[in-house]
Amino acid sequence: MGEDPAEGLSAALRVEALEQLLAERGLVDRAVLDGLISRYENDVGPLNGARVVARAWTDPGYRSRLLADGTAAVAELGFSGPQGEHLVVVENGPGIHHVVVCTLCSCYPWPVLGLPPSWYKDPAYRARVVREPRTVLAEMGLQLSKDTRIRVWDSSSEVRYLVLPQRPPGTSGFSEEQLAALVTRDSMVGVALPGTPA
């Protein structure tokens, strides 16, 4: 227990050692590791989710399909993969605000949002947002009015959640691309609102 902090071996050294031990026996292919890293650095991220949200804001039929079967509607735009076996989309509206967490680990809808940001994985977020969400959201910069009800979703099975934020005011006539640019990662987890037009 605690052997390495005492030895001063950094995580970077340990990971290098782990990779080396596996690679020199042919158990992992470094090109495969590079590919995975590149995929989640460049291809799979919140821009996917922003496209889903912008489509739902502009296409009522798509919005209905998204709320009825998130997995299928997201796949219509070409997004699927690990941590996306069953996606449920929850819609914010006047008087109702949704926020997503995984208290037990850091489950997150990878195909639409990529890998989770550091605050989502932080013990403080995991511990507190299921206990005092209004306080936590305010600390994170989102002040909700008193009469807005809060729904918290704890991702405790393989179901993954995406928040469909409310379309910002002043965006009528915006194209899907213009709208997607307003959709932030944090607004799709429920700890922020989407941006507003400049």
Partner 1 sequence: MDGVADLGGRHGWGRVPVPGPEPVFAEPWQGRAFALGALAARLSGTNLDAFRHALERLNPLDYLADGYFGRWARATELLLVDSGVLAPGAVTARSANLRGDVRPEPAPPQPCKPDYASTSPGSLREVTTAARFAVGDRVRTRDLRPAGHTRLAGYLRRRTGIIEALRPGAVLPDTHAHFRGENAQHVYAVVFESRELWGAEAEEFQITADLFEDYLEAAGG
Asked if 94 touches partner 1 (CB under 8 A), the answer is no
Q: Which of 64, 86, 95, 178 binds partner 1 (CB under 8 A)?
A: 86
Q: Scanning residues 28 to 47, which ones bind partner 1 (CB under 8 A)?
A: 28, 32-34, 36-37, 40-41, 45
Binding mask 52-71 for partner 1 (x = CB under 8 A): --------------------
> Active-site residue 107, yes or no?
yes
> What is each CA distance from 103 to 52, 69, 124, in whole angstroms?
26, 24, 10
Please return the burial class of 62, using the count of CB atoms within 10 Å of its CB with bins 0-12, 13-18 and 19+.
Answer: middle
Minimum distance from CB of 125 to partner 1 (Å)?
5
> Which of 1, 170 has the CB closer to partner 1?
1
Structure tokens, 143? 């002040």
Q: Are 133 and 99 in contact (CB under 8 A)?
A: yes
Catalytic status, residue 102: yes
Buried b (16+ CB within 10 A) or exposed e, 165-197: bebbeebeebeeeebbbbbbbbbbbbbbbbeee
Q: Is 77 exposed, middle or buried (0-12, 13-18, 19+ CB in 10 A)?
A: middle
156 is catalytic: no
User: Would you call 175 a catalytic residue per the annotation?
Assistant: no
- Stretch of residues binding partner 1 (CB under 8 A), selected from 48-56, 78-86, 162-170, 174-182: 78-86
Nearest residue (CB) to partner 1, 37 versus 178: 37
Find the part of the chain contacting partner 1 (CB under 8 A) among 24-32, 60-68, 164-172, 175-183.
24-32
Sign of CA pseudo-dihedral 57, 58, 63, 66:
negative
The answer to whether residue 72 forms part of the interface with partner 1 (CB under 8 A) is: no
Tokens 């080396």 sit on residue: 20
- Name the residue among 195, 141, 140, 137 with its Cα closest to residue 166: 195
Q: How far is the CB of 76 from partner 1 (least distance, A)?
A: 19
Is residue 85 part of the contact set for partner 1 (CB under 8 A)? yes
Tell me if 176 sits within 8 A of 58, measured CB to CB.
yes
- Does residue 114 interact with partner 1 by CB under 8 A? yes
Catalytic residue among 10, 38, 64, 105: 105
Please select the residue that binds partner 1; options are 124, 177, 195, 197, rule is CB under 8 A. Answer: 124
